[in-house]
Amino acid sequence: MVRIGIDLGATNIAVGVVTDDGTILHKVEAPTLASRPWQPVVADMIALTRRALSEAGFTLDDLRSIGVGVPGTAIGGVVVFCTNLGWHDVPLERTFREAIDKPLYIDNDANVAGLAEAMAGVSAGAPNSVFLTLGTGLGGGIIINKRIYTGAHGVGGELGHLTFIADGEMCTCGKRGCLERYASATGMIRQGGEAIRTHPHSALAKAAGQDPANLTAKLIVDQARAGDPTAMMVFDRYVHYLAQGINSIISFIDPDMIVLGGGVSKAGAFLLDAVRLALTNYIFFRTLPYASIELASLGNDAGIIGAAMLGE
Ligand SMILES: [Zn+2]
């Protein structure tokens, strides 16, 4: 028996045939074309599922289950909210099962990536872990005893929207001061924009052509790594925000491991060493062991693998 894992992103739909132990046997992709209504997008997901199975030499009889990771919130087979796709209350499970009648599981993409790392990646040896995607936003996935934990009402684990600074920066969610505004790539870029205005002669400002619109997290990290004091200041502040957020998570649930994924995590050991060091300033029970901080290891495949692992 094999499983299907579907990584539904705002840009691409990736569908993989996956074994029970999390190995991808075959993968197909197509653009999401997210400006379309949801019906043709789901029709493409169904067609890609059939294609991936047949190209890998399997039939529907070999298929155990289908899992879908969505960039939003899903409850009871319905995608309640998916900002980047413009989806509201999309009956994904019902629609899918009308075409392919197999168990279908849906979860948030950060939860799914966290599950993938816990089943087949860096946190495979850790029963309890928290996954953080450091990208445009900050996604969180809480894994307890190798299962995604989303709380009593299915909306837990939204760690990016923990209130971090009272009455702070406006967030896309409509609240102020969410952790995401400070510890995502977007947060780093905003801090970088302020820094190049006050330090126009810095290497960072020159590399960005004095225009904050040219800043990326990678540019800031590269300039910090090269020794530019302004970039280093921005990076250092970012690291401290992230470490403070991680400290809150550790104080809440004391996981075995915290896994950093998403675009900013591509900074690798430069980020990891800095976060581990900064965390020592904040950790409460500092004489006791606490969560190890590690980098995600599965990359883009985490979306497919984790989706395939949903539901059992
Ligand atoms: Zn928010």
164 CA distance to ligand 1 middle (Å) = 10
pLDDT at residue 173 greater than cutoff 90: no
The neighbour count for residue 277, using CB atoms within 10 Å, is: 11
Per-residue pLDDT of 271-299, as tens digits, reads: 999 999 999 999 988 889 999 999 999 99
Architecture of domain 2-116+301-308: 2-Layer Sandwich (3.30)
250 CA distance to ligand 1 middle (Å) = 20
pLDDT at residue 160 greater than cutoff 90: yes
One DSSP character per residue, 186-212 reads HHHHHHHHHHHHH-TTSHHHHHTTT-G
Min mean pLDDT across 2-16, 148-162, 226-240 is at 148-162
64 CA distance to ligand 1 middle (Å) = 37
Q: What is the mean pLDDT of residues 112-133?
A: 97
Report the SS3 class of residue 7: strand
pLDDT at residue 42 greater than cutoff 80: yes
Between 4 and 300, the higher pLDDT residue: 4
Tokens of 232: 């280093």
Per-residue pLDDT of 192-247, as tens digits, reads: 999 999 999 999 999 999 999 999 999 999 999 999 999 999 999 999 999 999 99
CATH code for the part of the protein at 125-296: 3.30.420.40
Per-residue pLDDT of 58-86, as tens digits, reads: 999 999 999 999 999 999 899 998 877 88
176 CA distance to ligand 1 middle (Å) = 7
DSSP one-letter code for 274: H
pLDDT at residue 312 greater than cutoff 80: no
The rounded distance, in Å, linking the Cα atoms of 228 and 180 is 25
54's enclosing H/E stretch is helix 38-55
The rounded distance, in Å, linking the Cα atoms of 308 and 112 is 9
Same fold, 2-116+301-308 and 125-296: yes
Tokens of 312: 């059992």
Q: What is the mean pLDDT of residues 29-38?
A: 95
Q: Where are the domains of the chain?
A: 2-116+301-308, 125-296
Between 142 and 172, the higher pLDDT residue: 142
> Is there a contact between 78 and 14 (Cβ–Cβ < 8 Å)?
no
Q: Cβ neighbours of residue 106 under 8 Å, at least 6 residues apart?
A: 67, 68, 69, 70, 74, 77, 79, 92, 93, 310
238 CA distance to ligand 1 middle (Å) = 17
- Write down the pTM of the prediction: 0.93
